Amino acid sequence: MGMTITEKILAAHCGKEEVHAGELIQAKVDIALGNDVTAPIAISEFKKAKAKRVFDKDKVVLVPDHFTPCKDIKSAEQVKILREFAKEQKLKYYFEVGEMGVEHALLPEQGIVLPGQVIIGADSHTCTYGAMGAFSTGVGSTDLAAVMITGECWFKVPEAMKFIYRGKLPKWVGGKDLILHTIGDIGVDGALYRSMEFCGDTIDGLPMSDRFTMCNMAIEAGGKNGIMGVDETTLKYVEKRAKEPYETYESDKTAKYVETKEYDVTKLEPMVAFPHLPSNVKPISKVGKVMIDQVVIGSCTNGRIEDLQLAAEVIKGQKVHKYIRLIVIPATQEVWRQAMDEGLFKIFMDAGAAISTPTCGPCLGGHMGILAKGERALATTNRNFVGRMGDPQSEVYLSNPAVAAASAVLGRIASPEEL
């Protein structure tokens, strides 16, 4: 029987010629990731186990990004735990403020994660790296501790779903809209513990930024991982960043999928997820008059340079609505510098936006844009659960960067076509 990309990667990492859905395996891990929210627990468990050294100081990555720059004493203590552990273990990859970026944008950018790898992270959006043809998935902090000690993790090989997208995308429609449309179609548990494999000529035409966006939100459909095949676009992105050899895989034609979904995207509109689930989606033409108080452009979902370029294209020459807060957060220092060099910051600042250093910040209600009771935000982030960005009686809507920029100008959720 043929195997999917995910099955081939897992087989290679557990020393078997083949594995199939439902099988329990123990796989070697290439990269283990923790952040300032999850890693302190893992470090505590590491020490409780009386472990002395991590399995490989070049394969354990710590990125304080959720509450940094530290917003209070508690968050500072969390980061201190990471910093001291990184020093003690002589970790190669520890990123402090000034070098730090939102982890799931930073690791691909720095060439730390590569095609064909098995990557675990104590953060649910670790599935982002599937855009590079890697098996990457989120785990709990105790699992991270075990991997830091042993370099291995157990998995149940997931069943696979195939998502085929065909056709040319209309203007202002991108990867965020594809994945929101998909989640809206199958629901937040429609791919529960399944591998979501994205393919089709539409995917072939997407830049890496949009591919990362799609795989990033696989978890919002319950997916174990999101993954795409490696093509010329992937290789062009990877080859100038890779610091070590890597292997690529592709699914066999005889691979087994429990379900296949096909989408014609030629008439797809920009999509908006209404509170309080990413699956509660509507096309922009059906949104109606939804007034907002804040717009956030950034995060591990849409904080890359292409996202900022798109937002700047929309907002150039416009002014942010008088009663709207527009917060722009480049996902990494490299993105920040490029945006500055390209003049994007001038466009945003002339419009009346605030520009932040890289941080997860408002995405999880951390800081840099907390919502008050009754306030509404439109964000390019990935979740809009109750209280996600602040008060439990606030609301979060999700969209792509172009819609977010247009909405900041008009003071309501709107299409760029309305400007």
Domains 5-262 and 271-418 share a fold: yes
The closest of 229, 175, 180, 231 to 202, measured between CA atoms, is: 175
Q: What is the pLDDT of residue 402?
A: 98
User: What pLDDT was estimated at residue 333?
Assistant: 97
The DSSP line for 167-204 is SPPPTT--HHHHHHHHHHHH-TTTTTTEEEEEESHHHH
CB atoms within 10 A of CB 20: 17
Q: Summarize the chain as % helix, strand, coil (round to 5).
A: 35, 20, 45
Using an 8 Å Cβ cutoff, are 246 and 356 in contact? no
Determine the Cα–Cα distance for residues 8 and 252; give it in Å rounded to an integer. Answer: 9
| CATH architecture, range 5-262 | 2-Layer Sandwich (3.30)
Tell me what pLDDT residue 1 has.
79
pLDDT tens for 10-48 read: 999 999 999 999 999 999 999 999 999 999 999 999 999
CATH topology of domain 271-418: Aconitase; domain 3 (3.30.499)
Q: Looking at the DSSP assignment, which residues form a beta bridge with residue 271?
A: 283
> What is the residue-level pLDDT of the chain in tens, covering all 419 positions?
799 999 999 999 999 999 999 999 999 999 999 999 999 999 999 999 999 999 999 999 999 999 989 999 999 999 999 999 999 999 999 999 999 999 999 999 999 999 999 999 999 999 999 999 999 999 999 999 999 999 999 999 999 999 999 999 999 999 999 999 999 999 999 999 999 999 999 999 999 999 999 999 999 999 999 999 999 999 999 999 998 999 999 999 999 999 999 999 999 999 999 999 999 999 999 999 999 999 999 999 999 999 999 999 999 999 999 999 999 999 999 999 999 999 999 999 999 999 999 999 999 999 999 999 999 999 999 999 999 999 999 999 999 999 999 999 999 999 999 98
Q: Domain coordinates of the chain in residue numbers?
A: 5-262, 271-418
The residue type found at 253 is K
Nearest Cα neighbor of 7 from 135, 199, 114 is 135
Q: Which pLDDT belongs to residue 19?
A: 97
Spatial neighbors of 92 by CB under 8 A, at least 6 apart, are: 57, 58
- DSSP structural state of residue 125: G
Structure tokens at 177: 């809209």
Report the pLDDT value the prediction gives residue 243, as an integer from 0 to 100. 86
Check the CA dihedral 257-283-267-382 and report its sign.
negative
